Every structure is written in C-alpha cells, then in structure tokens.
A and B are shown apart, each in its own frame.
Chain A
Amino acid sequence: MLDSVKHVILVLSGKGGVGKSTVSVQLALGLKNKGFKVGLLDIDLCGPSIPHLLNIENLDVHQCPEGWVPVYTDSSQSLAVMSIGFLLNNKNDAVIWRGPKKTAMIRQFINDVCWKDVDYLIIDTPPGTSDEHITVMECLKEVQCDGAVLVTTPQAVSIEDVRKEITFCKKTNIKIIGLIENMSGYTCPHCKECSNIFSSGGGKSLAEYASIPYLGELPIVPNKEDILGLDSMQSILTRLTTH
C-alpha cells in the first residue's frame, strides 16, 4: 500500500467550497514544476472536481496487472491523477452511496492504484468529518503521512467548521502542516480596488488561536493559472517541501 510514495499530504477543511480542490491542484502543479513526481488522489466521491479543474475530464483509467493506472496529465507522466470522475459514464450521474460503499471505494483507491514512484501524493477530501475522513485516516495509519494542509476562507462560518477539522486532526493524530486562507481579497477588474468580499484575517487569527502554522493567504483571481505565480503560493510550496 502506497509503498512507492515518499510523502503523503492531505488537503482538508471542515467547510465545502473553500477551495480544497483548487488548492490541491495548484499544490500538485507547483510541486510538478519544481521537478517532483506528483500523485493527486480525489476522494470526494459525491462531488469530484479535480478532473474538471485539470481539464482532463474525458480521460479514462486503465487496468494493469498491478492495479489501476492513474490518468497522467501529459506525456512527461510527472502528474498522476485518480478520481471517481474518471469512472463515471456520464458527468451528470450522481453517486448516491451510503458510507460503507464510499469506504470500500476509498480503500480501493488507496490500495489498488499503481502510483509508481511518486515523491508527493496529495489527497483532496470532501467537506466534513465523516466516513471519507475516518477511512482515509485509518488507511494512512499504516503509511507515513506528512500531515494535513487545512484550507479556509476568512468568513466566520468557514472558520467555525475548520475549528472542528482541527479537533478531528488532533483526535486522530494527524499532524497539521498549516492553514491556508483562500479567497482572501478580490481585485475589481475595473478600478483595481481590492475588496474583502468574504472579510479578511480570519485564517491568521484561527492559526494563532489553535497554535498551528499559518501558511499564507491566496486571493480570488479570475484565472486559476495565475495562482501559481503568486509569491504567497511559492512560499507555501517552499514550506511544504522543506517542513
């Protein structure tokens, strides 16, 4: 199980829609650009976003004697992706499963995907602290997991759910690598005025309150490709590779 994977990083947030998948994709692309071989595992079974965000929705997963072959984003094969999105016939189909079936699927994703030699495996999770999270945490007990990156928006409603996720990490002994404040500030395309649509500073004060490392903030940008070029994103990547 994950024998050929050197580092495992979980991307978590109690809250939905804060940018877990976007952050996961950007971390994966950033690490790839730094010359690492990266795996990206999407365990959000009811709402997989990774295939869309990487624009590889139409690719398929193949079987090999060792297990499932993940989808590679390009011919360099330095970014491997696995998501339930690749297994659905129609993108409108709902995956209406209760916990045990989701658990079985996640176990398969962790046990049966042939990642080959991967430096970093990033695991993107759904919101909450339920079946998916308990399963992944149980599976990762047997392998070396670097820890979790938590994502929040600055709003109190999001911070509140992330506090619960911090408790989850503490209870299950998952190390917290740090917290990222996403959607921090939006620059008006007309007058360049920066507005804090979802307020600001919530992430930093939560990190101080919970005494966890604060990794930085990422603004709302119209073009997701621009995130990688941001200084704050580069400093987050450096923290990840040197922590």
Chain B
Amino acid sequence: MEPVPDHCPGTQSESAGKVSACQGCPNQSICSSGSTKAVDPGIEQVKSHLGNVKYKLLVLSGKGGVGKSTFTNLLGRVLAKANENCDIAILDLDICGPSMPRMMGLLNEQVHQSASGWSPVFLEENLSVMSIGFLLNSPDDAVIWRGPKKNTMIRQFLSEVDWGNDLDYLIIDTPPGTSDEHLSLVQYLKGLPQIGAVIVTTPQEVSLLDVRKEIDFCRKVNIPILGVVENMAIFICPKCAKPSEVFPKDSGGAEKMCKELDVPFLGSVPVDPLVTRHCDEGTSPIDSASPCVNAVQSIVQKIQEKCSTLS
C-alpha cells in the first residue's frame, strides 16, 4: 500500500482531493470527484438487519487485558441463565485477538453459511456467539489486516449473521483502543435505538488513563455510557483469606474517576484464579461459589435496569 501523504485531509473531509497535500497522491482524482463522500450502503443494511435486536450493548475499554472479554463472557452467561425467555448473542469484534471462542469453550467450532447468512455458534439454546476465531483454520493464524479490511469484516458481522430469532441482547466485545473497529462499529450502529456502552477498567492509573479516552470517545460519538466496571480490584489470598490490592488504586481507582467524569460506577469485581481458570478452559464459572461471580451478578442486575431506561 502507498503511504498516505503526511497531511492527508482524510477521504471523508470537505477538502478531500483539493488541498496541497493531495498533489501527486494517486487517489486525488477519486477524492476530488466526491465519490468517497457517498454514504456507505452498509449503514442501511446493518440498520435493517439489526432492527429486531432490542438492546445493543458495547463492552469497551481503552486499555487491553483488563477483562473486556471475560466480562462479556460472564455477562452473556448470566443474562442467558437468568432470562430463559430472552435470546442473547455475543459478537466478538476483536479481529486480531479474538478470545471468545476459548472463553466460551467453542475452540474447534466452525461457522456455517446458509442462504440467510452466517449461522452463529450456539452455546445454549438462548446464547449464540460469533467471532472471527471460528473462521480461522489454526490458532496460530494471524489476521494481519489494515483498517479497511477489518471494517469490511465488521460490516459483514453486523449485517450478515443470522441470529435466528429476535434478539433481546446483542453484546459486542471490542478490541482495545479508539480506532478503526470502534469507528466502524459506531458508524454502522448509528440510527439504531437502545445502544449502551459498558466500560471495563482495572484500578490502576495506567488503565484509567486509557479509559478516560474511551469515555471521551463515547461522548464524541454520542453513545450513552451505562457505567464503568472496575475489574481485578482486590485479590483474596487463598491461604490467609485477607484481601490485597494486586493492581493498586494509585490515583483513587475507578469510582473516583467516575465521580470526576460524571459517569455511573457499576461496581468492583475481585480477581479470582478460579474464574481465570474457567475462562482458560472454556467452562462456565457462573455456578461456582466465587466472590467474582457474585459481584458480576449484581452488576448485570444494574445493567438490566439501566437498559430499560435506554431510548
């Protein structure tokens, strides 16, 4: 791929193809013709395809490795168990590092194509999962794609997966950052009602730093924030049963940040090696007696309540 000119105004910009940086760019004529500003037909497709999905929940965090996928996994399983009449689906949008197949115990599953689109993989009768992991031949396969290719995949995931029945909850797990995947997701969901973001963080400032950026992102693109979950908050030693802060709240933790930025705080979730092991093995942790699962259950309760207020 040709490097983009240093001061490229962006293909969507008013001045695309018309500023001095565009001189000599091989795409100048395409940009100046205005065809890059045409509305993506994918937006309409997604809108009609997801029209029968009630709540669209985005699990976000600026930071990686804070537990977005673990929380998505638990959220999906808890919702599915507590609401047998509801249909829940999980969509894994982490293209370069999909974790859902492992965590849900669906490592060797494949997606099938039918006339009505891609069929997701069903974990329970009312819980289905879609991830790029189901499309790879081997766990060693790397998806080495630049943005545009990832965007096409995301559009297909949003408009071509046959979820079956009307969905009550579509939970979308995202990669870290505020870049292509996030922009595409938000762009395609634009115009759909009842979207909310759940933001996951760990207590340290190094994570909160990135999470503040994600909150700024949500505000800039008008996605309502249902609240912030503080993961890996404390660890209870299996030997002496005393709690300690594995990842210290060096700047006051998530609750303080929520107050400062005026977003709801949903609760803290402790680290539990048992849950870590369940996630690595793909088994369900939600029936085990774990302080982590208890905390997640009460957070899921709050999320459900907040969903009913979404417009």
Chain-B contact segment, one of A26-34, A68-76, A100-108: A100-108
Identify which of B6, B182, B183 contacts A108 (C-beta below 8 A). Answer: B6
Are the CB atoms of B146 and A99 closer together than 8 Å?
A: yes
Binding site for B on A (CB under 8 A): 14-18, 21, 45-47, 49, 52-53, 91-104, 107-108, 126-131, 133-134, 153, 155-158, 160-161, 163-168, 171-172, 186, 188-191, 193, 195-199, 220, 222
Total contacts A-B at CB 8 Å:
210
Does B103 contact A131, Cβ atoms closer than 8 Å?
A: no
Does the CB pair A197–B273 fall under 8 Å? yes
Contact A130 B64 (CB under 8 A): no
* Residue from B5, B65, B175, B179 in contact with A158 in the complex, judged by beta carbons closer than 8 Å: B65
Q: Is the CB of B209 within 8 A of A91?
A: yes
CA distance A171 to B141 in the complex (A): 11
Which B167-192 residues have a C-beta within 8 angstroms of A?
175-180, 182-183
The stretch from B46-54, B75-83, B121-129, B237-245 touching chain A is: B237-245
Residues B96 and A46 in contact, CB atoms below 8 Å apart: no
Could you give 23 example pairs across A and B, Cβ below 8 Å?
A14-B97, A15-B65, A17-B202, A45-B179, A46-B178, A46-B179, A46-B213, A49-B206, A91-B212, A92-B212, A92-B213, A103-B4, A126-B64, A127-B97, A128-B96, A130-B145, A164-B139, A167-B141, A188-B235, A188-B237, A188-B239, A193-B239, A196-B273
Kindly supply a per-residue 1/0 record for chain B positions 127-152, scoring 1 wherever the CB is within 8 Å of any chain A CB and 0 otherwise: 00000000000011111111110100
Specify which chain A residues have a CB less than 8 angstroms from the CB of B202 in the assembled complex: 17
Q: Are A52 and B205 in contact (CB under 8 A)?
A: yes
List 7 other contacts, CB 8 Å, given A130-B144, A168-B144.
A16-B66, A47-B210, A96-B217, A108-B6, A130-B145, A155-B280, A198-B276
Measured between alpha carbons, how far is A135 from B264 in the docked complex, in Å?
Answer: 38
The docked-state distance in angstroms from the alpha carbon of A171 to that of B102 is 24
Which B residues are closer than 8 A to A by beta carbons?
3-6, 8, 10, 62-66, 69, 95-97, 99, 102-103, 139-148, 150, 175-180, 182-183, 202, 205-207, 209-210, 212-217, 220, 235, 237-240, 242, 244-246, 248, 261, 271, 273, 276-277, 279-281
Instruction: Decide: A21 near B206, CB < 8 A? Known: A130-B146, A195-B238.
Output: yes
A18 to B206, CA, bound (A): 12
Contact A47 B213 (CB under 8 A): yes
Give the top 4 A-B pairs by smallest Cβ distance, nearest first. A16-B64, A17-B65, A99-B147, A46-B177
Which of A92, A95, A100, A129 is in CB contact (< 8 Å) with B147?
Answer: A100
Give every chain A residue within 8 A of B63 (Cβ-Cβ).
16-17, 47
Q: Evaluate contact between A52 and B209: CB separation under 8 angstroms.
A: yes
Contact B240 A190 (CB under 8 A): yes
Say whether A94 contacts B65, CB under 8 Å.
Answer: no
Contacts of A222 in B (CB 8 A): 245, 248
In the complex the two chains form, is A188's CB within 8 Å of B242's CB? yes
Please determine whether B237 and A155 come into contact, CB atoms closer than 8 angstroms.
no
A132 to B58, CA, bound (A): 24
Which residue from chain B places its CB closest to the CB of A49 in the assembled complex? B206
Choose from B142, B215, B217 the contact partner of A168 (Cβ within 8 Å): B142
Nearest B-chain residue to A53, judged by Cβ: B206
User: Which of B64, B66, B245 has most chain A Cβ within 10 Å?
Assistant: B64
Q: Which residues of A contact B239 (CB under 8 A)?
A: 188, 191, 193, 195
Say yes or no: B141 contacts A164, CB within 8 Å.
yes
Please classify the interface of chain A as helix (H, G, I), strand (E, B), loop, or mixed, using the class held by over half of its residues: loop
- Is A94's CB under 8 angstroms from B148's CB? no
Measured in the bound complex, the distance between the Cα atoms of B102 and A158 in whole Å is 11
**Of A91, A126, A168, A188, most B-chain CB atoms within 10 Å:** A188
Residues B99 and A160 in contact, CB atoms below 8 Å apart: yes
Closest B residue to A107 by beta carbon equals B3
Residues in B neighbouring A193, C-beta threshold 8 A? 237-240
Q: Which of A134, A158, A190 contacts B146 (CB 8 A)?
A: A134
Contact between A17 and B207, CB atoms less than 8 A apart: yes
The reply to whether B220 and A164 contact each other, CB–CB distance below 8 Å, is no
CB distance from A92 to the nearest CB of B (A): 4
Contacts of A101 in B (CB 8 A): 4, 8, 10
> Taking CB as reference atom, which chain A residue is nearest B107?
A160
Contact B140 A164 (CB under 8 A): yes
Contacts of A134 in B (CB 8 A): 144, 146
Chain B residue nearest to A193 (CB atoms) is: B239
* Nearest Cβ on chain B to A101's Cβ, whole angstroms: 7
- Neighbouring A residues of B10 by C-beta, 8 Å: 101
Q: A93-B216, A126-B176, A131-B147 are in contact. Are A190 and B244 (CB under 8 A)?
A: yes
B264 → A minimal CB distance (Å):
18
A94 to B235, CA, bound (A): 31
> How far is it, in angstroms, between the C-alpha of A186 and the C-alpha of B179 when the chains are bound?
33
Report Cα–Cα, A14/B96, bound state, in Å.
8
Contact of B176 among A52, A127, A196 (CB under 8 A): A127
Q: How far is the CA of A153 from the CA of B235 in the complex (A)?
A: 17
Which chain B residue shows the least CB distance to A88? B213
